[in-house]
Structure 1
């Protein structure tokens, strides 16, 4: 009886615990970098918090003093699911994306799924991508 209870408890813990298969190591390749200073910032959103001040996850990479390229790779560990990613180049390292007087980005910005909004704010469904167990890299191009 005790052996059966221990076995059931162990099985319950095994199936209730998240496994490594529930997340992936994702490389976010950000290209279109035109200045060699500042910080590249990547933010991850779901449908409910799209473009809020509280992204699900944020990763950043300060460009080293000897940087001379046009792309960087930022590693992230992310749970499987549907997300939209934003990236921007914080040119002045003030920790936020600068905007124009009418609210448009004043620093280079890009979205997942190569979404480039023409009028109005970016749409989550157009930037949404599925991160599956076989996803190892996504690309975001800065404009």
Structure 2
């Protein structure tokens, strides 16, 4: 009898062997896409994951067809940061001037505007919980 009750309780509770936490949608609105050519690259980073120039947790490439764009990531709850750049000339990389200053439009979550160096994760960090999250990033214009 005890065995039967234990077995039934497995079907009435969450799967104890499930390895991945539930995910939610993270919607990213991108504003100020001045040139309708090339592509916009969106890099999503988790805490401590080489932000902003390393390998992102997930990335997306969006054709720059409108002045405002949107993309959605399916993410686990946690701390994240986003780095975006608009590859206007379509060469697949962020073109830079002397001293590494970007030539092409870019943006970060929290609309953080770096002064003299690349931002830290904590500058651009935001939290995602179990509810859908929507953020807005405005690209720097040149």
With the shorter chain as reference, the TM-score category is: 0.7 to 0.9
Residue-by-residue CA offset, 1:48-107 (whole Å, 9 max, x unaligned): 1222431101012113xxx3x321011221221111101111112222222223112221
Shift of 1:4: 5.2
Task: Report 1:99-110 matches (<5 A).
Answer: 99-110=96-107
Q: Distance in 1 between matches of 2:72 and 2:136?
A: 12
Secondary structure of the 1:87 match is strand
Residue-by-residue CA offset, 1:106-142 (whole Å, 9 max, x unaligned): 2100000111111222121110000122233111110
C-alpha RMSD of matched pairs (Å) = 2.2
Runs of 5+ unmatched residues, structure 1: none
TM-score with structure 1 setting the length: 0.82
Q: For the structure 1 residues 37 and 77, does the alpha-carbon distance in structure 2 shift closer, same or farther, using more than 3 Å as the test?
A: same
Shift of 1:6: 3.9
Residue-by-residue CA offset, 1:17-76 (whole Å, 9 max, x unaligned): 135xx221222100011001011111011231222431101012113xxx3x32101122
Say whether 1:130 aligns with 2:127: yes
Matched length: 137
TM-score with structure 2 setting the length: 0.83
Partner of 1:37: 37
Partner of 2:85: 88
Between 23-32 and 94-103, the greater mean CA deviation after superposition: 94-103
Q: Distance in 2 between matches of 1:62 and 1:135?
A: 24
Runs of 5+ unmatched residues, structure 2: none
More helix by share: 1
| Equivalent residues of 2:48, 2:121 under 8 A apart | no
Q: Report runs of 4+ in structure 1 exceeding 2 Å deviation.
A: 1-13, 133-136
| Equivalent residues of 1:24, 1:77 under 8 A apart | yes
Secondary structure of the 1:89 match is strand
